[in-house]
Chain A
Amino acid sequence: MAEVAVHVGDVSKTFRLPKERQTTLKGSLVNFAKRAKGYEEQQVLRDISFDIYKGEFFGIVGRNGSGKSTLLKLLAGIYSPDKGGIQINGRLTPFIELGVGFNPELTGRENVFLNGALLGFNRKEMRAMYDDIVDFAGIERFMDQKLKNYSSGMQVRLAFSIAIRAESDILLIDEVLAVGDMLFQQKCFETFKEIKKRGKTVVFVSHDLGAVEAFCDRALLINNGDMEHIGPTREIIKRYSNLLADAEVIEAEKESKKTGKKKEVVHSGTGDTITVEDAEVVDMHGKPLRHIEEGEPFTVRVHFDAKRDVFHPVVGIGLMDEDNISVVGPNTQESDFVTGTLKGRGYIDVTFKNNVLAPGGYTVRAAIFDRSGAVPYDFAENLLKIKVTGKKRHGKVFLEPTWKVVNKS
Chain B
Amino acid sequence: MSFANVFSKRNRALLRELVATDFKLRYQGSVLGYAWSLLRPLLLFLIMYVVFVRFLRIGQGVPHFPVYLLMGIVLWNFFAEMTSQSLGSIVGRGDLIRKIRIPRWIIVLSSSLSALINLALNLIVVGVFIAVNHVAITGAALWMPLILVEIYVLSLGVSLFLAALFVKYRDMSYIWEVVLQGMFYLTPIIYPVTYIKNPTLLKLMFLNPMAQAIQDVRHVVITPATVTIRDHTVLQGQLLQYAPFALAIIILIGGVLYFRKQAKYFAEDI
Contact = CB atoms under 8 A, between A and B. Distances in A.
Interface residues of B, number: 30
A24 B96 contact: no
Contacts of B264: 80
Contacts of B102: 94, 118
Interface in B1-54: 9-10, 12-14, 16-18, 21, 24-25, 28
B101 A77 contact: yes
A182 interface: no
A249 interface: no
Given A78-B101, A100-B96, A103-B21, A25 B268 contact: no
Interface string B86-130: 000000000111111110000000000000000000000000000
Given A95-B100, A101-B96, A73 B21 contact: no
A374 to B, nearest CB: 68
A295 B239 CA distance: 89
A79 B268 contact: yes
B95 A101 contact: yes
B79 to A, nearest CB: 23
Contact of B99 (A24, A95, A103): A95
Contacts of A28: 169
Contacts of B97: 78
Interface in A96-128: 96-97, 100-101, 103, 105-106, 110, 113-114, 116-118, 120-123
Contacts, number: 80
A296 to B, nearest CB: 42
A23 B96 CA distance: 20
B13 A121 contact: yes
Contacts of B172: 25
Contact of A78 (B10, B14, B99, B170): B99
A123 B267 contact: no
A311 interface: no
A139 interface: no
Interface string A353-396: 00000000000000000000000000000000000000000000
Given A80-B264, A100-B95, A105-B25, A23 B101 contact: no
B14 A110 contact: no
A189 interface: no
Contacts of A103: 21, 25
Most chain B CB within a 10 A radius of its CB, from A73, A78, A120: A78
A118 B268 contact: no
Contact of B169 (A24, A96, A97, A114): A24
A118 B24 contact: no
Contacts of B98: 78
Contacts of A16: 268
Interface in A19-34: 23-26, 28
Contacts of A15: 268
Nearest to B172: A25
Contacts of A96: 99-100
A123 B98 CA distance: 25
A383 to B, nearest CB: 47
A106 B24 contact: yes
A26 B13 contact: no
A103 B24 CA distance: 11
Contacts of A77: 101
A121 B19 CA distance: 16
11 contacts: A16-B268, A26-B171, A77-B101, A78-B99, A80-B264, A95-B99, A95-B101, A101-B95, A117-B13, A117-B17, A122-B12
Given A77-B101, A106-B21, A118-B100, 18 more contacts: A24-B169, A25-B172, A78-B99, A79-B268, A80-B265, A94-B101, A95-B99, A95-B100, A97-B99, A100-B96, A103-B21, A103-B25, A114-B18, A114-B21, A118-B14, A118-B102, A120-B9, A121-B13
Q: Which 8 A-B residue pairings sit nearest by Cβ, starting from the closest?
A: A122-B13, A117-B17, A94-B101, A120-B10, A77-B101, A95-B100, A25-B171, A100-B99
Interface of A: 15-16, 23-26, 28, 73, 76-80, 94-97, 100-101, 103, 105-106, 110, 113-114, 116-118, 120-123
